[in-house]
Structure 1
Amino acid sequence: MIHRLVSPRAAAAIAISMLATRTLNAQDRSQSRSMVSSSQGVVASESVLASQVGARILEQGGNAIDAAIAVNAMMGLVAPMNDGIGGDLFAIVYEAKTGKLYGLNASGWAPKGLTAEYLRGKGNTRMPQRGIDAATVPGAVKGWEVLRTRFGKLSFAQILAPSIRYAEDGFPVGEVVSVYWKDSEEALRADPATAKTFLPGGKLPLQGDVFRNPELAWTYRQIAAQGARAFYTGNVAAKLLASSKTHGGTMTAADLSEYEPEWVTPLSTTYHGWTVYELPPNGQGIAALEMLNIMERFPLAKMGHNSVAALHHMIEAKKLAYADLQRFNGDPRFAKIPVAALQSKEYATQRATQIDARKATCMVPAGQAEGTDNGTTYLSVVDKEGNMISFIQSNYSTVGFGAGLAVADAGFVWHNRGGGFSLDADSPNLIAGRKRPLHTIIPAFMEKGDNKIAFGIMGGWNQAQAHAQFVSNIVDFGMNIQGALDMPRFSKETFPGCDVNFESRISQAVRDSLAAMGHQIVMRGDFSSTRMGAGQAVQRNFTTKVNFGASDPRKDGAAIAELLPNRPAGGAARR
């Protein structure tokens, strides 16, 4: 071997070259941005402004639950087509001091008089998707109250103060929100009260226009002073009932005053060593668990991320899980739902045998389980003590602002969640008075050892399948929470058929191979929030006590960290 001396100048050049290569590799990545990392609390939402409000609540002594309610109140202001107090909410809370998970179902019920017989008598053969007969009792405010009472530290007056200020003073309309607003213009003009609130001066708010909602500020002040009773029995309730009467609805004072949310035990399954939690029916979370159980039967990690084989098996798993969702799910107070079977590994093994590795199946029947959004905001918060909340809230339909009807002089719209019911007499989801509809919105949580993640991805029937893809990105492919949200997704919106939406970042070669297998691919943009939804996530490492946050680039949001309080000028650090 011949040894050649390297000059100091050449050695330095080699070292610089190696450093440059390492730097290039570190920068040459596929995710949109870095995770937010902090020893303090982190808030992740679809709006930078709302996330900043949540971080401020943490800085003022609130905890994760207080911050989540404050963020939700802001989202009802800045994205009124997606969410607001005219809708429902669900949450999973991790309480650090007990190490326990709690589930909250704050979905409202149908008015007592809103029955299948009543709707058929009006000539309906399918559930109305708009108008007052699509509106059920809004559960969000009662949900806020029971969350704050059980876990919160601050008063409603403190929590709602930022939203009241911004509702009165105004805020610039965001980019994504302005598009939804424009898409809803025709529906907003169809009702005078709705147009008055959301088309101020008869004009559509455009991106960057300052929008004010003093009517919503009034409503929030009522809740700040009186809590949920203002909404269900007080001044706000009076406006709700007047609105229902104006539009020929069936809502009564008793429908509002007698409504209560329900604390529920989260369901879970394991996926390659991680435990994943969803809420039980009437939500679609059970489908996410079944889909993961089916996916676990196949070596997705070896197949490769977004490869032909991996995508094919995940899409087919989605069809199987959703066929069962459609067949069996509903309000468990009215229907016997085979929850234990649907979330079992044994049942998933049985269902997995029906996947043909060579071709797509277009008609998937429900299994024999023994024991027989589109307009939504998802947010998550972790505080410095380790309390975490996975929180989702919705008006249901984005385009058209829920039911398309504002509550006159109250600053918010009715949701159209009743559209999730069925008029099929054989369905477990048949509408009945005081019954809750099959719901699309679902929060989620996952953990392994000292790492816990509160996450969710909004977007109608996209949600359970998007949850499963997020979990696979974390577990099978080793991504962090930001990368797991960023990655291109598929979404099959329909239950039967072989149609499936793909983001265009999935390669042409993969798409061609899947099309040859019978998948009918509908192409979407690079980052399609309308079809793929958008998610948020927070994570905590309980060993290091470091928190992380991530926000989906498909929306206008951000993960924002709480700041340490300032020391007095000239003050020294404590030792």
Structure 2
Amino acid sequence: MSWPAAWGPVRTPTLATGGIVVSSSPAVSGAGARVLADGGTAVDAVLAMTAMSWLALPGQCGIGGDFFAVVREPDGRVWTVTGSGYGPDGASAEGYLDRGMTALPLTGPLAVATPGAIGALATLHAVAGTRSLPELWAPAAAAARGGLPCTDKNRRDIAEHAAALAADDDLARWLLPGGRVPSVGDRLPAPELAASIEALARRPRSLYRGRIAERAIGLLRSGGAEFSGDEWSAGADVPVEGSVSAPYGDVVVHTTPPPTPGWMVLQQAGLLDGRLAGLPDADAVHLLALAARRAFRDRYERCAADGDAWRSLLTVDALRAARAELQDEDAVVGGLGVHGDTTSCVAVDGDGRAVSAISSLAFTFGARISIPGTGIALNNRLGRGAYLLPGHPNALAPRRKPLHTLNAWLATDRAGRLRHVGNTPGGDGQVQWNVQLLTALVDRGLDPAEAVAAPRTTVHPGSDADAIGSPETLQCESRLGAEVLAGLAERGHDVRDVGEWGAGGSALVVSVDAERGVLAGAADPRQDGVALGV
């Protein structure tokens, strides 16, 4: 299918035969490409890329955040790691309500969950890494010590949150040198973070047990967060898990399991499978929006981040019944934005090993506090994902992981051969845009560059704790065309035009042409990403 002229210009995909990496930053992609060129695997590349992301995209991810990955081995096996932590052992929805709170704050110690990223990365490396972590993370440590140049995105992020960053000594020294917002091109050295990266490369689990952990717990307790230390220590142990998988069209989609909402991608795919091909665009977007709203409603009403209720939503009978209901559904199906800052990367090596990985601090710069003396910014995942609603599946409770937005996926054919690998950051937009990527690749037959650039639509809000009860809208990029936007309004949607490229996200895709032995990859033109082949 050719790219519609009305959708504007699009890049051509990057082509490669020996391996390919894609990320939202040239520095990050460069780190991964160097690993592949030196004989490393896709897993090695993702380990290096994720560490470089801590410097290249400091508002989006970090050591104090979360990390998830789905891996496809050359023999066809698919496995995952899901690194997401707990809230404080001493905290509960009832207790916080008794303290006069109606919602968790989005900044400061009370917003923080135990970081899961380092535990997950340590497991990924232990299971499938072929190079040492000190070797793979040395470029990131060097970048921290010397300082990467500030990009326009970083400058905008820092400027928006300058007051909060200035209140944290470590973050201010790094991101506000001389007490001012940096200019594009200014280097941002972070020597304390460099030392932390080197220490964690030698002993990853020292984040959870030892001097760094003691500093973190002390900081959080001093701010009123009731961490015992045991839940912090538990974050070190991240097991290997299987993927959650289901068919869509002629592929099988494999996603990360809970606490990620990967199952929501599969639920939407099950509701839409076979229904989009040949439909006029307004009808297709309408169905995509209904499926997304159905998934958000089901998650809010029934599904804990770390529970099993989602399984019942993916059965043949449940999907059949939901498809029938969707046929006659109104545009708005239940009241529960697309907020948040995250980054992701994709790598495929010459042996057919593929990794889709994603990491985040939740909102930009997370809780906007750091572990003293380390340069490690902490996430605000608890404030974003835990509800102060006693009895709710996602109510704040000891050793309950908060609701999550991150997910990663890859697709194989029915024989298990790799077809596509992808992901996107973007809060609750992720589960919607990942479905839109799949429909672009599978139903429309678009190439990776066309798929990541296709006009994007977003049901808003999803089910973030701070967004419940917000008016429901359908945010649409204007490249869909005036006729499509009008058709959606006629179908009952409150359509919001977000401009030609304003929907958000930073989608990444690699596709495999098995017949010709070629990999094709592309990064979203909405950010600074690049695909590099070797």
What is the one-letter code of the residue matched to 2:60?
A: N
Aligned with 1:303: secondary structure? coil
Deviations 1:128-169 (A, max 9, x none): 222111101101011111100100001111011101111111
Inter-partner Cα distance in structure 2 for 1:199 and 1:114: 33
1:361 to 327, 331, 349: 331
Secondary structure, counterpart of 2:301 in structure 1: helix
Residue segments in structure 2 that go unaligned for 5+ positions in a row: 463-468
Q: Secondary structure at the match of 1:548?
A: strand
2:309 alignment partner, SS class? coil
**1:464 and 2:431 are equivalent in the alignment:** yes
What is the match of residue 375 of structure 1? 341
2:243 equivalent among 251, 261, 266: 266
Q: Which amino acid aligns with 1:426?
A: G
Question: Which residue is equivalent to 2:20?
Answer: 42
- Distance change (3 Å), C-alpha of 1:58 and 1:288: same
User: After the TM superposition, which of the residue ranges 254-263 and 157-166 deviates more from structure 2?
Assistant: 254-263
Counterpart amino acid of residue 235 in structure 1: R
Point out the more displaced range, 131-140 or 31-40. 31-40
Counterpart-to-counterpart distance in 1, 2:178 and 2:475? 39
Task: State the partner residue of 1:499.
Answer: 473
Cα distance, 1:499 vs structure 2 = 0.8
The answer to whether the Cα contact below 8 Å between 1:297 and 1:349 also exists between their aligned partners in 2 is no
Q: TM-score by structure 2 length? A: 0.92
Partner of 1:20: none
Cα gap change, 1:27/1:36 in structure 2, threshold over 3 Å: closer, same or farther? farther
Q: Distance in 1 between matches of 2:514 and 2:278?
A: 30
Q: Which amino acid aligns with 1:458?
A: P
The answer to whether the Cα contact below 8 Å between 2:118 and 2:205 also exists between their aligned partners in 1 is no
| 1:21-79 deviation digits (Å, cap 9, x = unpaired) | xxx99999955211111111211011001100111122233211111111111111121
Shift of the alpha carbon at 1:171? 1.6
**Counterpart residue type for residue 499 of structure 1:** T
Look up the match of 1:565.
none
User: For 1:62 and 1:338, how far apart are their aligned partners in 2?
Assistant: 37
* Counterpart residue identity of residue 255, structure 2: E
What's the TM-score once normalised by structure 1's chain length? 0.86
Query: Please, which of 344, 351, 357 is the counterpart of residue 322 of structure 2?
Result: 351
The aligned counterpart of 1:409 is 373
Match of 2:482 in 1: 508
Percentage identity across paired residues of the two chains = 28
In the alignment, is residue 67 of structure 1 matched against residue 45 of structure 2?
yes
Residue by residue over 1:295-345, the C-alpha shift from the partner in whole angstroms, topping out at 9 and shown as x without a partner, is 1252x22114xx11111111111111221121222243xx44141x21234
Structure 2 residue identity aligned to 1:403: A
Distance in structure 2 (CA, Å) of the matches to 1:378 and 1:146: 18
How many angstroms does 1:404 deviate by?
Answer: 1.4
Do residues 213 (structure 1) and 184 (structure 2) align? Answer: no
2:496 matches 1:522: yes
Q: Does 1:316 align with 2:290?
A: yes
Structure 1 residue 500, shift from structure 2 partner: 1.0
Q: Tell me, yes or no, if the aligned pair for 2:8 and 2:479 is still in contact at 8 Å.
A: no
Change in Cα spacing, 1:28 to 1:191, as seen in structure 2 (3 Å) is: closer
Of 281-290 and 159-168, more deviation after overlay is shown by 281-290
| Aligned residue identity for 2:34 | R
State which structure, 1 or 2, has the greater radius of gyration over its C-alpha atoms.
1
After superposition, the Cα gap between the structure-2 partners of 1:457 and 1:128, relative to the gap in structure 1 and judged at 3 Å, is same
TM-superposed deviation, 1:457: 1.3
Aligned partners of 1:278, 1:481: CA distance in 2, in Å?
19
Q: Matches of 2:120 and 2:224 in 1, distance apart?
A: 27
Q: Secondary structure at the match of 1:501?
A: strand
Q: Does 1:58 align with 2:28?
A: no
| Residue 289 of structure 1: how far off its partner (Å) | 0.9
Distance 1:25 1:362 in 2: 31
AA matched with 2:533: A
Q: Any idea what the Cα deviations from partners look like across 1:460-483, whole Å, max 9, x if unmatched?
A: 110111111111111111101221
CA drift of 1:189 comes to: 2.5
State the match for 2:178 in structure 1. Answer: 201
2:58 counterpart residue number: 80
CA distance in structure 2 between the partners assigned to 1:198 and 1:337 by the alignment: 42
* CA drift at 1:517: 2.3
Q: 1:557 Cα deviation (Å)? A: 1.1
Measured at CA, do residues 190 and 29 of structure 1 come closer, stay the same or move farther in structure 2, by a change above 3 Å? closer
User: Are the equivalent residues in 1 in contact too, given 2:7–2:454 (CA < 8 A)?
Assistant: no
Q: Which amino acid aligns with 2:354?
A: M
Structure 2 letter corresponding to 1:170: G
Q: Which 5+ residue runs of structure 1 have no aligned equivalent?
A: 1-23, 367-372, 563-575
**Residues of 1 paired with 2:505 and 2:301: CA distance?**
24
Q: Which residue of 1 aligns with 2:165?
A: 188
Q: Among residues 77, 97, 107, which one is paired with 1:120 in the alignment? A: 97
**Preserved contact between residue 456 and residue 536 of structure 1 (Cα < 8 Å):** yes
Aligned to 2:278: 302
Q: Which has the larger displacement, 196-205 or 156-165?
A: 196-205
CA distance in 2: counterparts of 1:107 and 1:451, whole angstroms = 27
Q: Deviations over 1:232-260 (max 9, x none)?
A: 22333233233324433333433322322
* Residue aligning to 1:488: 455
Aligned AA (2:334): V
CA distance in 2, matches of 1:544, 1:327: 47
Q: Which residue in the other structure is 1:6 paired with?
A: none
* Rounded Cα–Cα distance in structure 2 between residues aligned with 1:281 and 1:175: 34
The one-letter code sitting in structure 1 at the alignment partner of 2:133 is F
Contact 1:466 1:532 in 2 (8 A): no
1:179 aligns with 2:156: yes
Q: 1:243 to 1:198 in 2, by over 3 A?
A: farther
Paired residues for 1:135-174 under 5 Å? 135-174=112-151
- Determine the structure 2 residue equivalent to 1:475: 442
1:81-122, CA deviations, whole angstroms, 9 ceiling, x for partnerless residues? 1101110111101111x3200011111112212222432233
Q: State the Cα deviation string for residues 378-399 of structure 1 (Å, max 9, x = none).
A: 111011111110101110002x
Separation in structure 1 between the aligned mates of residue 211 and residue 128 of structure 2, nearest angstrom: 27
- Distance in structure 2 (CA, Å) of the matches to 1:290 and 1:411: 39
2: CA distance, partners of 1:317 / 1:286: 13
